[in-house]
């Protein structure tokens, strides 16, 4: 395979698409000899075949990152200069945002406008934001007595392995690269096998920005081979991962081999609670945003909605289902849930079989538990009044939660009681690069974004200085 290759994307952008692993600032041959194909999801045709890195490539990438980490070329780059490099990278991403957005729209299937105005806007902001932090990472002095000086240094960790998902390809890369590089680490990053293209393009910009060879290395490939070899690699000091809880667990297990520092942003099943005093127009609008954004492919999607009885009729005011088959499916689940013993509040009076239109009347179970609510794709919701908080917390996950109320006291007391890393009051899915992101329980470990992400990419060293001998003079 020649490399890179010229591609014309759907909006007629022509660009050079790298297709090989990126190690030591070069696109290198894959040692596995295997390829993976990225697919145009609209027409199911292959966009391009990308070389798939095997464990041998991971070894080379880790060796390059280790060498760069120890090299004076990278060590002598001051915090201020790392900030300059990141800011330059932000400018290059801004310059090429149409190409990057085109690639992600193509590779991931998301609308181009969304890729451009949301994902790429955030990529640029994140590199600028962490460029700003790079020379502001410092420790504390801790006074204890006149005889002693103690201070902390927020030191680099070393080689960071980063494994990212397919739902926001370039953006997830920026979330992870920004703080890691601001703190002075080196990186081996693996993008998801479904969406490898934008990160490989980003690698060309990293090189152009002036990052020394080996500071950022990109390996393509499947999770079971390329991903697993990073998670278990003894030369990697930290692992950061985003996506499913199951894979997160496997990565954590593999990372235990050399006690890697770990950051996991895993799954969610986030609640959205609408109280009786909520502004219903807002609640409906954000409920839609909360589950439909990015085609529902967000780990913080608010996929469990709890609505107070008095607001319910207005909240679910809705039209027919998409087909007779879908309406029948909803009604079949309804019958099955009844058989499982659910208590029905509303929904017994469904339209007769010969009624016109594919309508299913709203169905409410008072005591719905998780086992009784499969994914139905219809007006099928559990209602809980007294126990909104208990129900909201009745999940192994704890990533996001949305609350709708106009009562300021209730808003803050419920926000405090909800077991989730992110709570939205009167919205859903709000996110900002300056605000930490991450979950409780099975939704992850550690926080990304904001100043908090810096602690995920530094380790604290404490220095004790004995001044006692001078005091005796
Ligand atoms: P999905 O099920 O949506 O594909 P995953 O959590 O399996 O989500 O994948 C997210 C990322 O984790 C991808 O980059 C994938 O290649 C990687 N991955 C999958 N399995 C493993 C594994 N066992 N070890 C390391 N990385 C993995």
Burial of 26 (0-12, 13-18, 19+ CB in 10 A): middle
β-pairing verdict for 344-346 and 363-365: antiparallel
* For residue 168, pLDDT beyond 50: yes
Least confident span in 3-12, 29-38, 319-328, 343-352: 319-328
pLDDT tens by residue, 404-434: 999 999 999 999 999 999 999 999 999 999 9
Nearest to 395 by CA among 304, 296, 266: 304
Asked if residue 382 lies in contact with residue 306, where contact means CB atoms within 8 angstroms, the answer is: yes
Going from the Cα of 453 to the center of ligand 1, the distance in angstroms, rounded, reads 22
For residues 111 and 339, what is the distance between their CA atoms, to the nearest angstrom? 42
- Percent of the chain scoring above 70 in pLDDT: 91
Nearest Cα residue to atom 19 of ligand 1: 223
Going from the Cα of 387 to the center of ligand 1, the distance in angstroms, rounded, reads 36
Contacts of 26 (CB under 8 A, 6+ apart): 213
Dihedral over alpha carbons 339, 341, 346, 351 (to 10 degrees): 0
Going from the Cα of 127 to the center of ligand 1, the distance in angstroms, rounded, reads 25
Arithmetic mean of pLDDT, 332-359: 77
Q: What is the pTM of this model?
A: 0.85
Residues in the chain: 473
Instruction: Please choose from 243, 294, 443, 444 the residue to mutate so as to test ligand 1's pocket, defined by most ligand atoms within 8 A of CB.
Output: 243
Asked if residue 427 lies in contact with residue 283, where contact means CB atoms within 8 angstroms, the answer is: no
Arithmetic mean of pLDDT, 448-459: 97
pLDDT tens by residue, 226-254: 999 999 999 999 999 999 999 999 999 99
Query: Mapping DSSP to helix (H, G, I), strand (E, B) and coil, where does residue 196 land?
Result: coil
Asked if residue 296 lies in contact with residue 270, where contact means CB atoms within 8 angstroms, the answer is: no
pLDDT tens by residue, 193-228: 999 999 999 999 999 999 999 999 999 899 999 999
Instruction: Judge if the beta carbon of residue 176 lies within 6 A of ligand 1.
Output: no
Active site residues: 265
Nearest to 171 by CA among 117, 231, 132, 221: 117
Give whole-number Cα distances, 61 to 53, 120, 359, in Å: 10, 26, 57
Going from the Cα of 164 to the center of ligand 1, the distance in angstroms, rounded, reads 8
Q: What is the pLDDT of residue 314?
A: 81
Supply 436's token pair: 């930490």
Contacts of 270 (CB under 8 A, 6+ apart): 290, 300, 301, 302, 303, 304, 397, 399, 400, 401, 402, 420
Atom of ligand 1 nearest to the CA of 163: 14
Asked if residue 176 lies in contact with residue 205, where contact means CB atoms within 8 angstroms, the answer is: no
């Amino acid at each position: 395979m020649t490399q890179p290759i010229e591609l014309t994307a759907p909006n007629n952008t022509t660009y050079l698409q790298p297709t090989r692993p990126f190690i030591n600032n070069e696109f290198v041959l894959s040692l596995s000899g295997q390829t993976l194909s990225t697919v145009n999801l609209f027409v199911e045709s292959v966009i391009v075949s990308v070389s798939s890195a095997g464990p041998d490539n991971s070894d080379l990438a880790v060796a390059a990152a280790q060498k760069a980490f120890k090299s004076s070329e990278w060590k002598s780059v001051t915090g201020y200069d790392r900030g300059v490099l990141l800011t330059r990278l932000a400018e290059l991403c801004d310059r090429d945002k149409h190409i990057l957005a085109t690639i992600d729209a193509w590779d991931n299937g998301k609308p181009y406008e969304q890729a451009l105005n949301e994902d790429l806007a955030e990529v640029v902001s994140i590199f600028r934001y962490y460029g700003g932090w790079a020379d502001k990472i410092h420790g504390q002095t801790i006074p204890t007595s006149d005889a002693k000086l103690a201070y902390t240094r927020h030191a680099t960790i070393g080689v960071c392995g980063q494994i990212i998902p397919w739902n926001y390809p370039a953006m997830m890369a920026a979330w992870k690269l920004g703080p890691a590089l601001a703190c002075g680490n080196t990186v081996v990053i693996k993008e998801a096998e479904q969406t490898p293209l934008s990160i490989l393009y980003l690698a060309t910009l990293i090189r152009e920005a002036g990052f020394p060879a080996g500071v950022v290395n990109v390996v393509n490939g499947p999770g079971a081979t390329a991903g697993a070899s990073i998670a278990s690699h003894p030369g990697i000091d930290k692992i950061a991962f985003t996506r499913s809880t199951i894979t997160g667990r496997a990565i954590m297990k593999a990372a235990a081999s050399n006690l890697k520092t770990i950051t996991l942003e895993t799954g969610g099943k986030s609640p959205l609670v609408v109280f009786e005093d909520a502004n219903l127009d807002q609640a409906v609008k954000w409920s839609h945003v909360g589950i439909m954004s990015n085609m529902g492919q967000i780990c913080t999607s608010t996929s469990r909605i709890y609505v107070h009885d008095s607001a319910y009729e207005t909240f679910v005011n809705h039209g027919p289902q998409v087909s007779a088959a879908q309406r029948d499916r909803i009604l079949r689940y309804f019958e099955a849930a009844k058989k499982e013993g659910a208590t029905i509040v509303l929904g017994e009076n469904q339209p007769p079989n010969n009624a016109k239109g594919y309508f299913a009347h709203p169905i409410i179970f008072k005591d719905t538990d998780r086992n009784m609510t499969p994914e139905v794709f219809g007006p099928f919701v559990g209602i809980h009044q007294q126990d909104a908080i208990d129900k909201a917390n009745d999940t192994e996950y704890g990533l996001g939660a949305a609350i709708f109320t106009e009562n300021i006291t209730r808003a803050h007391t419920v926000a405090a009681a909800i077991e989730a890393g992110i709570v939205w009051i009167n919205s859903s899915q709000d996110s900002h690069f300056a605000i930490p992101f991450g979950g409780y329980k099975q939704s992850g470990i550690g926080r990304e974004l904001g100043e908090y992400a810096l602690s995920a990419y530094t380790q604290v060293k404490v220095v004790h200085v004995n001044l006692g001998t001078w005091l005796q003079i």
